[in-house]
Amino acid sequence: MLRYNEIGYKVIGVDIDNTKVTQLNNSESYIEHISSERIHSAIQHNFKATTDFSYITECDVIILCVPTPLNKYREPDISFIVNTMEKIQPFLRKGQ
Ligand SMILES: NC(=O)c1ccc[n+]([C@@H]2O[C@H](COP(=O)([O-])OP(=O)(O)OC[C@H]3O[C@@H](n4cnc5c(N)ncnc54)[C@H](O)[C@@H]3O)[C@@H](O)[C@H]2O)c1
């Protein structure tokens, strides 16, 4: 996300966790190896975080970054992907 922002793409981060969204919009990193300065720079270059999935309509490219944890049979739990797709589905358009 940061790299795409740094090379000039408009990047919007959509998450269901309002705490993370608020932190990012306040230039606060919650990820150990990413500095708050880097988040601040991204915000200066048009990055925003939101819980509003309707922003999907503005996006040409959508990258899902949700976990796929393995169950006891070492099969991936894809429920995060399914849940995310259900949330973005109303805002998808042809060609995205
Ligand atoms: N953490 C890493 O260093 C790392 C490195 C390489 C690849 N990955 C991959 O990236 C993916 C995400 O890993 P992570 O460590 O960032 O997981 P994470 O659990 O830290 O972050 C996932 C985020 O997705 C959000 N989320 C959950 N359900 C959602 C939904 N329905 N709609 C929108 N957002 C939703 C959560 O609130 C959370 O903020 C995984 O596939 C992982 O394998 C992670």
- pTM as predicted: 0.91
Does the residue 50 lie in any domain? Answer: yes
pLDDT by 10s per residue, the chain, length 96 = 999 999 999 999 999 999 999 999 999 999 999 999 999 999 999 999 999 999 999 999 999 999 999 999 999 999 999 999 999 999 999 999
CB 77 within 8 Å of CB 64:
no
So what's the pLDDT on residue 94?
A: 95
Q: pLDDT at position 12, please?
A: 98
Domain that holds residue 24: 2-91
Q: Is any ligand 1 atom within 6 A of the Cβ of residue 66?
A: yes
Q: Report the atom number in ligand 1 closest to the C-alpha of 20.
A: 39
Ligand 1 centroid–CA 13 distance in Å is: 12
What is the distance between the terminal CA atoms of the chain, rounded to a whole angstrom?
Answer: 17
- Residue 44 forms part of a structural domain: yes
Total number of domains constituting the chain: 1
64 C-alpha to center of ligand 1: Å? 8
Inside any domain, residue 96: no
Distance between Cα 59 and ligand 1 center (Å):
19
pLDDT at 95: 94
Position 34 scores a pLDDT of 97
Give the up-direction half-sphere exposure of residue 51: CA atoms within 13 A in the CB hemisphere.
8
- Torsion angle, CA of 39/62/78/42, rounded to 10 degrees? 0
